[in-house]
């Protein structure tokens, strides 16, 4: 291969897990399989300028501002993946990146961020190597590379429902990269889904997900949790096929609460939910009891609440409930209205 000055840009959406990944082994191997859906509007746009005649270094700009911490992270990441992209340490990188969702809103940018970087790297790889590669291989390798940056990022490379982690329930699934969950196995009700993210707490989390994953190594409930996540693929598969909303809601909320229960049972324990998170959860449960409408939640490793509901005709009442009853719990009335990318 020959390397030359070039510039590439890519965009990658964020994703939200339904069965959560929490706990990992060496080399970013997940302790259990996970499934997520990819979002449509929450994205990272990244441009990489590659200067072939300069010694290896990385300069990064986040929304126009130079960020040396991020550059250090990327530099380490590039060194780590040299074995998969032999040209990678042969030049200078100027990386400009911006998120379409509010900065420091607590919406995880690592999934879309590493997804976008990995896509850019595969574009550079295409410029530098002469062999034509098929698009399936390129996406799979991008997913593989994104995983090494941030585990959940490997799921952002595909639209729709995406599985990462080997499970007998999903053919072709792997610990090394994510695969798309077969569209044919998904009931239409799940193909038009809302995810409104209530921004309960904007700012930096008290415990990073890296530290959180690490604490699973000494969590006495970890093995049971990993087993449960594996088992949850069995009902999840049935639910996705049948469209059973009641069972879907139960499973997705259980997964979210289990993630946070694991945090509370870590040593040292930590809690990422805030008062507003709990208020919103209780309001959602009251609303469901009173109306029977399919509004439910999931949580990331943070205080924000992802409000999930289908676009099936029942959403007007749900939307007005969110606006009138739930927005008050978000900082600056902030809500990011997203939908599943299909
Ligand atoms: O990709 P990481 O290392 O930031 O871990 C994220 C884990 C969760 O978002 C909490 C769950 C998931 O499966 O995305």
Here the ipTM equals 0.99
Angle between helices 245-264 and 222-242 (to 10 degrees): 160
| Nearest residue to 50 via CA among 110, 113, 114, 126 | 126
As for ligand 1, residues whose beta carbon falls within 6 Å of it are 17, 20-22, 34, 110, 150-152, 209, 213, 259, 300-301
The residue whose CB lies within 8 Å of the most ligand 1 atoms, and thus the one to mutate among 12, 301, 302, 304, is 301
Structure tokens at 114: 């590493």
Instruction: For ligand 1, pick from 12, 14, 18, 21 the residue to mutate: most ligand atoms within 8 Å of CB.
Output: 21
Confidence of residue 130 (pLDDT cuts 50, 70, 90): low
Q: What is Dmax (Cα atoms) for the chain?
A: 66
> DSSP per residue over 247-259, as a string?
HHHHHHHHHHHHH
Nearest ligand 1 atom, CA 150: 1
Cα–Cα distance measured from residue 107 to residue 122, given in angstroms and rounded to the nearest whole number: 25
Average pLDDT score over residue span 204-225:
94
Domains of the chain: 6-185 (3.30.230.10), 192-339 (3.30.70.890)
Residue 146, pLDDT score? 98
Task: Check if the beta carbon of residue 90 is closer than 8 Å to that of residue 56.
Answer: yes
Per-residue model confidence as pLDDT tens digits over 86-107: 999 999 999 999 999 876 666 7
Taking the CA of residue 301 as reference, the ligand 1 atom at the shortest distance is: 10
Q: What is the mean pLDDT of residues 55-67?
A: 95
pLDDT at 312: 86
| Spatial contact of 259 and 299, defined as CB atoms under 8 Å apart | yes
Q: Tell me, in angstroms, the distance from the centre of ligand 1 to residue 152's CA.
A: 5
- CA of 171 relative to ligand 1 center, distance in Å: 22
Place of tokens 């040396």: 68
Ligand 1 center from residue 28 Cα (angstroms): 11
Assign 144 a pLDDT band (cuts: 50, 70, 90): very high
């Amino acid at each position: 291969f020959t390397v030359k000055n070039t510039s590439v840009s890519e965009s990658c959406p964020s994703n939200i897990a339904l069965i959560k990944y929490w706990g990992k082994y060496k080399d970013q191997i997940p302790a259990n399989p996970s499934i997520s859906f990819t979002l449509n509007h929450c994205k990272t746009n990244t441009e990489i300028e590659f200067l072939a005649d300069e010694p290896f270094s990385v300069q990064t700009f986040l929304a126009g501002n130079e960020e040396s911490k991020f550059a250090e992270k990327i530099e380490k990441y590039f060194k780590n993946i040299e074995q998969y992209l032999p040209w990678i340490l042969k030049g200078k990188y100027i990386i400009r990146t911006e998120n379409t969702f509010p900065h420091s809103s607590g919406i995880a940018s690592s999934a879309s961020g590493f997804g976008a970087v990995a896509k850019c790297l595969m574009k550079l790889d295409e410029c530098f190597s002469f062999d034509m590669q098929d698009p399936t291989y390129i996406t799979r390798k991008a997913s593989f590379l994104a995983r090494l940056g941030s585990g959940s990022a490997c799921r952002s490379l595909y639209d729709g429902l995406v599985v990462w982690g080997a499970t007998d329930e999903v053919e072709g699934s792997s610990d090394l990269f994510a695969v798309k969950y077969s569209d044919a196995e998904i009931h239409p009700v799940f193909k038009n889904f809302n995810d409104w993210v209530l921004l309960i707490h904007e700012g930096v989390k008290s415990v990073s997900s890296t530290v959180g994953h690490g604490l699973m190594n000494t969590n006495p409930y970890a093995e049971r949790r990993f087993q449960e996540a594996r088992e949850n693929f069995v009902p999840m598969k049935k639910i996705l096929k049948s469209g059973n909303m009641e069972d879907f809601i139960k499973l997705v909320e259980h997964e979210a609460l289990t993630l946070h229960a694991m945090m509370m049972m870590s040593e040292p324990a930590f809690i990422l939910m805030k008062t507003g998170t709990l208020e919103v959860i209780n309001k959602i449960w009251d609303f469901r009891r009173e109306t029977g409408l399919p509004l439910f939640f999931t949580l990331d490793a943070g205080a924000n609440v992802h409000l999930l509901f289908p676009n099936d005709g029942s959403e007007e009442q749900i939307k007005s409930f969110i606006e009138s009853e739930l927005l008050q719990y978000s900082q600056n009335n902030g809500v990011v209205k997203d939908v599943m990318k299909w």
